[in-house]
């Protein structure tokens, strides 16, 4: 594999190498405040720079395309996004453009975590207030990487796939579990502790992969904590870890 650095916010200086398959990962804010359409611009420049259309393109989006809270049921791949916020609209527009330009298959991860992605562990350790009633979804990075690999090689991959594990949960349940594992007090609840967020159904991913290495947050966070990803599990308040 040969690294290649190209600024996709500008037209490429020349054609890119031919590729058989491609995974596209971009952040919605790639253009910054000065270029709110940078996300779409980068995709167009990529398409122009490729000499041939790859036989398989996987576009990594986000479950953030669903930015309106829902309560009745988890959302599946059959549910059409109805984005409201600028970020969600940009994500949805990116999905549509990736399909148009590359015939892309779309993967929507949520809450990627794993070694090097310890934000929630640090939140609990530091006692930062959280909304206990926020509905959350996540995927361990190991399972996400495997998902992308299988999407590239599968004979008939789905057109869209939610990359989430099988254990959606309120944030309060997760931080309470992490606190027990760390041996610290659970973080306080925010003052405006109202339901928020959306549950995403991960059944299709489980069937597609034949099971996940980390089927839920318990297995993933327990392994991370047991592996010592947080070497100092003591809060400044003096609450020591076990």
For the record, the structure tokens of 225 come out as 């904590």
The predicted pLDDT at position 36 comes to 84
Domain boundaries, the chain: 21-226
> Is 71 in contact with 38 (CB distance < 8 Å)?
no
Mean pLDDT of 162-190: 97
For the record, the structure tokens of 13 come out as 């200086």
User: ∠ CA 77-39-100 to the nearest 5 degrees?
Assistant: 55
Between CA 144 and CA 163 the distance in angstroms is 7
Mean pLDDT of 210-229: 94
The predicted pLDDT at position 239 comes to 32
Between CA 162 and CA 63 the distance in angstroms is 7
User: Would you call 100 exposed, middle or buried from its count of C-beta atoms within 10 A (0-12, 13-18, 19+)?
Assistant: exposed
The predicted pLDDT at position 33 comes to 85
Name the least confident of 11-15, 140-144, 164-168.
Answer: 11-15
Domain 21-226 has CATH 3.30.70.20: no
User: ∠ CA 139-169-239 to the nearest 5 degrees?
Assistant: 95
Instruction: Express each pLDDT in 96-142 by its tens digit.
Output: 999 999 999 999 999 999 999 999 999 999 999 999 999 999 999 99
Instruction: Give the list of residues 6+ apart from residue 72 with CB closer than 8 angstroms, or none.
Output: none
For the record, the structure tokens of 79 come out as 């549910």
For the stretch 156-159, contacts whose Cβ atoms lie closer than 8 Å and that sit 24 or more positions apart, written own/partner, are 157/56, 157/58, 157/105, 157/208, 158/77, 158/105, 158/204, 158/208, 159/105, 159/106
pLDDT band for 20, please (50, 70, 90 cuts): very high
Question: If we measure between CA atoms, which residue out of 69, 187, 67, 72 comes closest to residue 132?
Answer: 187
Instruction: Express each pLDDT in 37-57 by its tens digit.
Output: 999 999 999 999 999 999 999
Name the least confident of 31-40, 80-89, 160-169, 232-241.
Answer: 232-241
């Amino acid at each position: 594999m040969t690294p290649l650095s190209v600024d996709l916010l500008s037209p490429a200086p020349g054609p890119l190498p031919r590729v058989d398959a491609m995974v596209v990962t971009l952040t919605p804010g790639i253009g910054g405040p000065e270029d709110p359409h940078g996300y779409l611009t980068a995709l167009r420049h990529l398409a122009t720079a490729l000499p041939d259309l790859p036989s398989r393109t996987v576009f990594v989006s986000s479950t953030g395309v669903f930015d309106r809270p829902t309560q009745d049921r988890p959302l599946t791949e059959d549910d059409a996004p109805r984005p409201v916020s600028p970020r969600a609209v940009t994500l949805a527009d990116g999905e549509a453009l990736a399909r148009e330009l590359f015939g892309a298959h779309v993967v929507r991860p949520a809450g990627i975590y794993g070694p090097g992605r310890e934000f929630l562990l640090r939140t609990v350790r530091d006692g930062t207030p959280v909304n206990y009633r926020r509905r959350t979804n996540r995927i361990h990075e190991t399972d996400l990487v495997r998902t992308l690999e299988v999407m590239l090689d599968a004979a008939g991959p789905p057109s869209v796939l939610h990359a989430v594990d099988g254990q959606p949960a309120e944030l309060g349940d997760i931080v309470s579990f992490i606190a027990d594992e760390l041996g610290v007090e659970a973080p306080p609840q925010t003052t405006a502790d109202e339901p928020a967020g959306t549950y995403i159904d991960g059944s299709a991913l489980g069937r597609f992969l034949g099971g996940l290495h980390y089927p839920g947050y318990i297995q993933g966070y327990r392994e991370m904590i047991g592996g010592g990803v947080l070497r100092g599990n003591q809060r400044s308040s003096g609450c020591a870890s076990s």
